[in-house]
Amino acid sequence: MINKLEKKRSDALREHIPVMRPLTAKLLAGVVEKLRPKETLEIGTCIGLGAIGVLLAGGKKVTTIEIDEDRYFAAKNNLEEFGLFDRCEIILGDCKEVLPLMSENRYDLIILDGPKSYYPEAYPYLKKMLLPGGILFADDILFHGMVETNDAPAHKHRTNVNALRSFIEIAEGDVDMTVRKFDLEDGVILLTKRG
């Protein structure tokens, strides 16, 4: 099953579908194996490979949000193909509208891999939804190396880069979280909720 997942990931990356890259996916699998989350929330389903990876690594149930209808159906098909559809709820919608409606839910693991400009705004909801000892896994925080330079980002990337800089600053300043950054592929930050 893992080999089949890796092949799907390679094929997707070759087709420029923005799935999680191999080393980042391996890091996430390691987090899941240690944490053994009962409830996982994923923002940014894409074609479902992240959710499949979580479930194969030992996660019990995944709730995932995807705005793009074609990717939503591709994710459904992939989860069915792996025999995991019954352990995953896919919500078709905009995370900016869906997250506030879910704020009473609680999760052991939250994967943030949606619109980068929304990371700072999403953070208060995600922090509230995260159980003590739970982990927030935020992907793509370095945004192609643009976040940690002193250079002004190109106009078309400015919103995302500034939002990610703000998100990192908020996360690193949060006394309720233990922070670990990984300079791996496009960057990952792991926030563990104290408690």
Cβ neighbours, 10 Å, residue 69: 9
Query: What number is the average pLDDT over the span 28-51?
Result: 97
CATH classification of the domain holding 72: 3.40.50.150
pLDDT at 40 (0 to 100): 98
For residue 144, name the pLDDT band (cuts at 50, 70, 90).
Answer: low
Torsion sign, CA atoms 115, 22, 16, 6: negative
CB 134, CB 193: distance < 8 Å = yes
Summary mean pLDDT of the chain: 94
pLDDT at 6 (0 to 100): 93
Query: What number is the average pLDDT over the span 132-157?
Result: 82
* Total count of domains within the chain: 1
pLDDT single digits (tens) 91-112: 999 999 999 999 999 999 999 9
Q: CA-CA distance, 13 to 187, in Å (whole number)?
A: 17
pLDDT at 17 (0 to 100): 94
Task: Determine the structural domain holding residue 11 and report its residue range.
Answer: 2-193
Two tokens at 122? 């999403």
Using the predicted structure, report yes or no on whether residue 135 has a pLDDT greater than 80.
yes
Beta strand pairing call for 107-112 and 61-66: unpaired
